[in-house]
């Protein structure tokens, strides 16, 4: 059995932002394995997020971010349960990081259902025509289009995108970790992204 040192707990806290007792428990459960402890905390965060899913998130903030000397601008609304959490530095930093993600990664919507049907239909048509031009058999087209759409959603939906600050995480992972940290339901509700000339 590995002895869990204060330094190990400190390192895990720095990596995850989880509480001291949660870090101790994660390290004890994973016998001191740091990566396994991070996974343990992430799963715990996911469980916390699912427990809070039914709660009302009617407080929050609207965060703005302006990039490239005023060439790109983002407004994002992020909701939580209490005004107390909404006013914390952690919440404001989280909101700013999400606004920066939107500026950098150009999502079309928060979730797949936020992307207009017309855009989805157009993408499917393009993928179908590409597959036909490549001489793919008719009976394989639906499967090919489905695979391409899966990648389209990964690139185009904020919640499915890789986090630009740590590409080993998706925005869903980042949000679930933040929910575990705050102990409240937090949702990324909507955003608007503006770019000069678009």
Looking at the fold, whether 165 and 187 belong to one and the same domain comes out as: yes
pTM of the model: 0.69
Name the one residue in this structure whose structure tokens are 């394989």. Answer: 140
CA 128, 132, 133, 134: dihedral to nearest 10 degrees? 100
Q: Which domain holds residue 44?
A: 6-52
CA-nearest of 119, 120, 125 to 141 is 125
pLDDT tens column, 173-187: 999 889 888 888 899
| Helix, strand, coil % over all residues of the chain, rounded to 5 | 60, 20, 25
Q: In the chain, where do the E strands start and end?
A: 59-67, 72-80, 162-163, 166-170, 187-195
pLDDT tens column, 138-151: 888 888 889 999 99
Looking at the fold, whether 48 and 138 belong to one and the same domain comes out as: no
How many domains does the chain divide into?
A: 3
Is residue 1 situated within a structural domain?
Answer: no
């Amino acid at each position: 059995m590995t002895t869990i040192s204060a330094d190990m707990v400190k390192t895990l806290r720095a990596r995850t932002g989880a509480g001291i007792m949660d870090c101790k428990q994660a390290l004890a459960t994973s016998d001191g394995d740091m990566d396994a402890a991070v996974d343990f905390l992430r799963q715990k965060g996911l469980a916390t997020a699912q427990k809070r899913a039914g709660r009302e998130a009617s407080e929050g903030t609207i965060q703005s971010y302006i990039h490239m000397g005023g060439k790109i601008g983002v407004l994002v609304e992020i909701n939580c349960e209490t005004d107390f959490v909404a006013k914390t530095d952690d919440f404001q930093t989280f909101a700013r990081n999400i606004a920066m993600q939107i500026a950098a990664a150009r999502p079309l919507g928060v979730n797949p259902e936020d992307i207009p049907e017309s855009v989805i239909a157009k993408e499917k048509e393009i993928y179908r025509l590409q597959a036909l031009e490549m001489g793919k058999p008719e009976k394989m087209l639906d499967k090919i289009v489905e695979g391409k759409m899966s990648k389209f959603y990964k690139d185009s939906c904020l919640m499915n995108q890789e986090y630009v600050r740590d590409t080993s995480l998706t925005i869903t992972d980042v949000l679930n970790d933040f929910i575990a940290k705050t102990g409240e339901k937090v949702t990324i509700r909507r955003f608007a992204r503006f770019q000069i000339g678009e």
